[in-house]
Homo-oligomer: A and B are copies of this chain.
């Protein structure tokens, strides 16, 4: 295992301490590193809290800040955070208007966020994301997995929360955004979990995993390495076919952590061309490593159909460590 770390058991603490120090203008770290929260809260605003296993950075802590999340609860690598983390985060950031949990659809996450919601003694609603069309159930999920589309839900609901919408309206908006969003990924290499010390899965020098999950879970099938165009053919057909509809869209080409920018723009170029042939006009774009799988090489495509409201909320100011504009 080749990683820039001191020891597997200290990676999470040291990276969180580094993150909080680097972005002290935006975030503070909760006691016992249970959560990362906005340094400055907005009284009367519904608080947005997300979280999940670590190893997907910048998701979620990188999206804490104005116009997006109020807190993020980091679990150990690829391990759900525990309910006491979400309860402590809710206690820290709820200013009286209630709390919205944004949860990726994995059994551990759903169970622990639900438990926290029951135990917290607060007004809490939940949006569960399940944008991954690759498989219908998976190693850690019943139903579709929540992947890169989650950050789009966080951005848009975050903007609406800044405008003062109430908890029920935000939950409904989150569901609506999730329902207009589809993703699929491909892996060229495995990731390596620090505490395990060896790759999560074996893959040949001429193979790729089509439909891979963000923990390296199996996708649709193992196939021979193909060209960017051939990969885009399959992924665009899968996401746009499943979503249905045409019109204006946001396209996110997301790197898994070990893939350089140049390759992501090759994939963007190929995917955009295929979407436009289907009558989908790419009006908003995001290309980068936002929802990662440690050091895995590969990428995912996420497509979201825009409407006037969603586009306006996407464009609204955001000030987090990983996404920033208008501020």
* Chain B residues with CB under 8 A of A225: 2
A270 to B2, CA, bound (A): 17
- Residues 294-305 of A, flagged 1 when their CB comes within 8 A of B and 0 if not, give 110111000000
Question: Which of these, B16, B208, B263, B295, contacts A297 with CB under 8 Å?
Answer: B295
* Chain B residues with CB under 8 A of A17: 269
Q: Are the CB atoms of B18 and A272 closer together than 8 Å?
A: yes
A303 to B60, CA, bound (A): 28
A191 to B261, CA, bound (A): 14
Q: Interface majority SS on A: helix, strand, loop or mixed? A: mixed
Stretch in contact with the other chain, from A39-47, A102-110, A174-182, A285-293: A285-293
Q: Are the CB atoms of B18 and A260 closer together than 8 Å?
A: no
- A324 interface hit (Cβ, 8 Å): yes
In this complex, what residue of B is CB-closest to A21? B272
* Chain B residues with CB under 8 A of A58: 261
Q: Are the CB atoms of B260 and A297 closer together than 8 Å?
A: no
Q: Are the CB atoms of A269 and B325 closer together than 8 Å?
A: no
A266 to B295, CA, bound (A): 14
In this complex, what residue of B is CB-closest to A16? B265
In this complex, what residue of B is CB-closest to A188? B2
- Given known pairs A2-B188, A264-B4, the reply for A18 and B269 (CB within 8 Å) is yes
Question: Which of these, B15, B258, B267, contacts A266 with CB under 8 Å?
Answer: B15
Stretch in contact with the other chain, from A80-88, A124-132, A137-145, A226-234: A226-234
* Chain B residues with CB under 8 A of A22: 265, 268, 272, 285, 287
* Chain B residues with CB under 8 A of A260: 55, 57, 257-258, 289, 292, 294-295
A260 to B189, CA, bound (A): 14
In this complex, what residue of B is CB-closest to A294? B260
A2 to B158, CA, bound (A): 37
- A14 interface hit (Cβ, 8 Å): yes
